[in-house]
C-alpha cells in the first residue's frame, strides 16, 4: 500500500506568484538530500518537516497568490488574519531562502527574533513580522507548530497552524478578506487625526519658519496617498517619493545622517524617540509610547531606491558631517510639496 504524500489532493493552481522578483529572490531548484541535511545543520539541527521538504521538491520557495491565513487573534496586519509575502526556499542562493542573505538565520542573528526554531516566511511588514516553525514543544526532531512573531509587540508569538502542511492548506487569497471600504476609512482617520511621532513634532517645530503649515501639508499629502491607493503606504511613486524627501528634510533639521542606514533604522544602542530615524517618524511606533500617524510597516528597498536616485542626481550630497539635501534640492522639495499639498492644504 502506497503511503500518502503531503499535499496529495491539494490544488496548486493559482497558488504561486512566479513574477520576475519572486523567481530572482525566492525560488531555488529542488533541494538534494545533501543540501537539506546541510541546511538543517546550519539552522541549528532542527529537522525540517516532511511537508516542507515535499513542497520544496515541487516548488522550492516563492511568493504566493494565496497570501492570507486566518487567525483567532489580532496581528500587526489585521484583526482576523496574517499576510505573508513569500516562502523561504531550502537553499542558500536566493536572498530570501533559509540560508540566504536575508533568510532564517539572518532574522534571528540580526533582527533579534527568538531562537525557537526556523523562520520560513516573511510578511509585507518588511522584516518586522516573521512566520516561524516553533520547536519548543516538540523538540528539534519533532513536528513543529507554525507561529506568527511580531517584533513590534516585543516579539509576541501566536499560533497560526498545528503543522506546516495545515498552514499551507489554510492559505487563502487576499480577496477573502475584502475590507477595502473599512480599510480606507481607517486610513483616512490615521492621516487626518492620528497623532504625529514625537520626532516629527520636534522637527516641524524646528522648521516652523520655513514650513509654517507643515503639519497641514504633511496630512494633506498623506490623504492624497490614501485617496490614490485606498490605504496609507509608501512605494515607488511620485507622492511616496515626496514623502520620503519630506521625512529626510525633517530628519535633517534635527541631525545629519551619517549614512542611509543611520537615516532609516533605529540605533542599536536603544530604541526611543530621542534619536531620529525614518522608522520611528512614519513607519512604526513604540508599544510603550504609541502614536497614530504611521504606515505600520515599510519596504526598505523603496526608500533605498529613492535615496540612491537622489544621490545619483546630486540632490543628496555627502558633506563633512554627513548627507544632506542641497539648497537647490531643498527648495525644489518644498516647492513640489506646496504644489501637491497646497500651502493651505487646498
Q: Is the pLDDT of residue 145 over 60?
A: yes
pLDDT at 343 over 80: no
**Spatial separation of the C-alpha atoms in residues 23 and 43, rounded to whole Å:** 23
pTM (2 d.p.) = 0.59
List of E strands, 135-195: 145-150, 156-161
d(CA 103, CA 119): 7
Give me the pLDDT at residue 152, please: 77
Residue keyed to cell 527574533: 113
What is the per-residue pLDDT across 64-105, written as a single tens digit (0 to 9) for each? 999 999 988 777 766 788 889 899 999 999 999 999 988 888
Which DSSP helix (H) or strand (E) runs through 223? helix 214-229
pLDDT at residue 182, as a whole number: 75
Closest CA to 58 of 28, 14, 24, 93: 28
Cα dist. 268→199, 208, 272 in Å? Answer: 18, 31, 11
Q: What is the mean pLDDT of residues 302-322?
A: 96
* Between 296 and 88, residue with greater pLDDT: 88
Kindly tell me if the per-residue pLDDT of 346 is higher than 60. no
Bridge partners, 146 (sequence order): 133, 161
- pLDDT band at residue 22, thresholds of 50, 70 and 90? very high
CA distance 127 to 299: 8
What secondary structure letter does DSSP report for 282? I
How far is 335 from 214, CA to CA, in rounded Å? 13
What's the pLDDT tens digit per position in 208-238?
A: 989 989 999 999 999 999 999 888 999 999 9
Question: Grid cell 478578506 — which residue?
Answer: 177
Give the model confidence (pLDDT) of 267-287 as tens digits. Answer: 876 679 999 999 999 999 898
Element (H, E) at 122: strand 117-122
**Could you count the other beta carbons within 10 Å of the beta carbon of residue 57?**
14
Q: Are 152 and 164 in contact (CB under 8 A)?
A: no
Rounded to the nearest 5 degrees, what angle is found at the Cα of 73, between the Cα atoms of 67 and 76?
60
Predicted confidence band at 344 (pLDDT cuts at 50, 70, 90)? very low
How far, in Å, CA of 37 to CA of 46, rounded?
Answer: 10
Question: How far is Cα 184 from Cα 227, in angstroms, rounded to an integer?
Answer: 8
Cα–Cα dist 297/285, whole Å:
10
Between strands 145-150 and 62-63, the pairing is unpaired
Amino acid at each position: 500500500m502506497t503511503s500518502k504524500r503531503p499535499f496529495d489532493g491539494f490544488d496548486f493552481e493559482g497558488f504561486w506568484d512566479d513574477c520576475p522578483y519572486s523567481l530572482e529572490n525566492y525560488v531555488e531548484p529542488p533541494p538534494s538530500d545533501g543540501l537539506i541535511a546541510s541546511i538543517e545543520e546550519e539552522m541549528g539541527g532542527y529537522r525540517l518537516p516532511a511537508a516542507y521538504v515535499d513542497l520544496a521538491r515541487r516548488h522550492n520557495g516563492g511568493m504566493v497568490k494565496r497570501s492570507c491565513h486566518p487567525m483567532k487573534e489580532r496581528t500587526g496586519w489585521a484583526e482576523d488574519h496574517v499576510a505573508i509575502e513569500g516562502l523561504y526556499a531550502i537553499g542558500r542562493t536566493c536572498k530570501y531562502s533559509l540560508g540566504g542573505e536575508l533568510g532564517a538565520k539572518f532574522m534571528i542573528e540580526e533582527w533579534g527574533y527568538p531562537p525557537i526554531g526556523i523562520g520560513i516566511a516573511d510578511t509585507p511588514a518588511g522584516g518586522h513580522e516573521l512566520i516561524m516553525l516553533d520547536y519548543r514543544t516538540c523538540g528539534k526532531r519533532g513536528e513543529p507548530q507554525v507561529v506568527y512573531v511580531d517584533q513590534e509587540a516585543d516579539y509576541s508569538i501566536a499560533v497560526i497552524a498545528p503543522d506546516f502542511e495545515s498552514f499551507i492548506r489554510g492559505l487563502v487569497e487576499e480577496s477573502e478578506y475584502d475590507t477595502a471600504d473599512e480599510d480606507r476609512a481607517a486610513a483616512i482617520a490615521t492621516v487626518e487625526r492620528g497623532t504625529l511621532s514625537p520626532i516629527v513634532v520636534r522637527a516641524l517645530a524646528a522648521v516652523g519658519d520655513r514650513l509654517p503649515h507643515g503639519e497641514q501639508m504633511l496630512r494633506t499629502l498623506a490623504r492624497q496617498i490614501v485617496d490614490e491607493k485606498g490605504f496609507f503606504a509608501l512605494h515607488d511613486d511620485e507622492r511616496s517619493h515626496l514623502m520620503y524627501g519630506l521625512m529626510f528634510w525633517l530628519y535633517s533639521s534635527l541631525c545629519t545622517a551619517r549614512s542611509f542606514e543611520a537615516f532609516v533604522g533605529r540605533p542599536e544602542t536603544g530604541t526611543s524617540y530621542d534619536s531620529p530615524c525614518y522608522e520611528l517618524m512614519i513607519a512604526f511606533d513604540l508599544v510603550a509610547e504609541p502614536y497614530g500617524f504611521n504606515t505600520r510597516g515599510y519596504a526598505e528597498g523603496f526608500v533605498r531606491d529613492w535615496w540612491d536616485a537622489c544621490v545619483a542626481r546630486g540632490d543628496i550630497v555627502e558633506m563633512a558631517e554627513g548627507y544632506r539635501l542641497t539648497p537647490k534640492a531643498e527648495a525644489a522639495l518644498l516647492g513640489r510639496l506646496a504644489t501637491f499639498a497646497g500651502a493651505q492644504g487646498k
